[in-house]
Amino acid sequence: MNTHPPFRITLAQINPTLGDIAGNILLMQAAADTAVAEGASLVIFPELSLTGYYPADLLDEPAFLARVEQGVAELLACTRATPGLHWVVGAPMSWQGPGKHLQDCLLVMADGELRLRYAKQLLPTYNIFDERRHFEPGPDVAKVLRIGAMQIGFLICEDGWNDAGREYAVNPFERLADAAPDLVVTINASPSNIGKREQRHALFTAASARHGLPLVYVNQVGGHDQLVFDGASFAVQPEAGVVFEAQRFCADIQTLGFVQGRFVSAAGEALPAVSHEGLPAMEFYRRQIVLGLRDYARRCGFKRAVVGSSGGIDSALTLALATEALGAENVVGVTMPSRFSSAGSVDDSADLCRNLGIRLIEHPIRDLVTQYAKGFEEAFATALQGLTLENLQARIRGTILMEYSNAFGNLLLTTGNKSEISVGYCTLYGDTNGGLGLIGDLYKTEVFALCRHLNASAGRELIPQAIIDKEPSAELAPGQKDIDSLPPYPVLDVILKQLIEGPRLAGKERVEVEREYASQLGSESGQALIARIKKMIARNEYKRRQAPPILRLRDRAFGSGRQMPIAAHVDF
């Protein structure tokens, strides 16, 4: 029987704020205190935990870099207060060699000394990542450190993602395996999207098994502009796969024991089994959006939000999610009926806000539209009609909402979904006004599904069934319906998923989309529809470029994850 106490490791899944070095150090100190209390020898923080991920062009600012250097010195001083505890932290560090003047580094500190420095070797420049913009890759060497009786090896995020050897010429994981550590520690800032948890588990389970190395994976959590990090830090054993997982979408400090190559609880007991099943898609979307909004508002100094309530499903879902994230007392809906607004839409807005417990303010725009139309005709000698009149209504509403935001300090949330944003079914400087889009990475069919999920989870109608059942309409012209301008959303969404995401779609969804897309290609009318949708996507890039940030939910979201030119002729 083994009588030796386990080697204890604290996984510090923290929620750092970009640029808030003092605040991030406080988070690390608190986690280190927990580690000491639980008898840990090692406390592990996420990638770039000192600055938050990703600092972007803050890294070009000399004053910021000076503050980073000071922060590293402060961390070293902090470690003197935790004798024997090794802190694994992430920080940008200066580099005196050729190329960029910074490296993305993992630092091991203990008792006021820097015990190890490891520079990230693989710097991603795809999708949302642009690390090579600021960092120079580290050398192709393994870094290990003996802590007590344990030989620990270290990696940083992307360094562990190339074990199949498909993306880069070097494989840091294989090089580290050659050094034969007892345990691998990898620090990460891995943004969340649908299917990402399962992807991480599969990749690191395979790498652990291939090299016969147990590992701990520590990820950051929190919303940072468009990106949301879900945490979900985990531990892997070669023969068993993932044997521990931290909480998702919240900070979580957990201490594990490690004895004879196996992870146990801090008390040395067996760990509960980890479910292979992730969150259902709709619950994942819900939690990601709620955390993303909550952190965005907090970090930008907003306590309250305002949403234009049209009586339609997009604004209804936005209001429901905002209420969950910020509290009913901090969310306001504004209904702005015009002469084209149906009585049902106004009533539906009232029912929705009553169900959510939020305030609804009515600000009719009929007279404003009339005055604009009169002034337009007097100035330009032509009647205000058609698309110009439709867009005017949206822009008046957008102006009123911005007035409210300016006057009362509420964050204006936009309500466009991915289907409509893709094809430009939105008005620049109108319904695109605002500071953040919550549902801009949800296709319209997913908007309906998430509304049903929220109602089912609540056990009552948060979102009135009348809103879910009504045919979508912008209500900017008599009898207007979305289907007058667009194909049915189930058809449109399949085409959009294939054109925008394609091979980035995961698993079952990819199979279904490819099958239905092939069916469209099988007819002349389907081919014509696809060609039309391609042109609409390309033609409306200028709108997306000027839209507010959108919380990223899927592997390829609009924003930094999909960079397309505006002034281009697309003929393919």
Q: What is the largest CA-CA distance in the chain?
A: 95
Residue tagged 């939105």 (tokens)? 426
The residues, any chain, with a CB within 8 Å of residue 253's CB and separated by 6 or more, are: 10, 11, 12, 13, 14, 31, 34, 35
Helix (H, G, I), strand (E, B) or coil at 427: coil
Q: What residues form DSSP beta bridges with 258?
A: 7, 263
Residue from 120, 196, 444, 497 carrying the catalytic annotation: 120
Q: What's the CA angle centered on 538, arms 425 and 317, to 5 degrees?
A: 35
Backbone angles phi, psi at 494, to 5 degrees: -60, -45
**Residue 317 is which amino acid?**
L
Residue from 38, 47, 245, 475 carrying the catalytic annotation: 47
Nearest to 212 by CA among 244, 245, 178, 186: 178
Nearest to 217 by CA among 227, 228, 202: 202
Residue from 38, 105, 143, 157 carrying the catalytic annotation: 157
Residue 120 known to be catalytic: yes
d(CA 272, CA 560): 39
Residue 157 known to be catalytic: yes
Count each helix (H run) and each strand (E run) in the chain, helices first: 16, 20
**Residue 56 is which amino acid?**
A
- Strands (DSSP E) along 238-289, which ranges? 241-245, 252-259, 262-265
Q: Which two tokens stand for residue 504?
A: 């980035």
**Residue 449 is which amino acid?**
A
Nearest to 24 by CA among 53, 63, 50, 58: 50
d(CA 182, CA 174): 14
d(CA 392, CA 387): 8
Q: In what order do the strands lie in the sheet with 113-119?
A: 113-119, 102-110, 86-94, 42-44, 7-13, 252-259, 262-265
Q: Within 10 A of 129 (CB to CB), how many other CB atoms are there?
A: 17
CA 196 to the chain's CA centroid: 11
The residues, any chain, with a CB within 8 Å of residue 220's CB and separated by 6 or more, are: 13, 14, 15, 16, 46, 47, 49, 52, 53, 188, 189, 229, 231
Please answer whether residues 513 and 503 qualify as being in contact, where contact means their C-beta atoms are separated by less than 8 angstroms: no
Residue 250 known to be catalytic: no
Please answer whether residues 416 and 314 qualify as being in contact, where contact means their C-beta atoms are separated by less than 8 angstroms: yes
Q: Which of the residues are catalytic?
A: 47, 120, 157
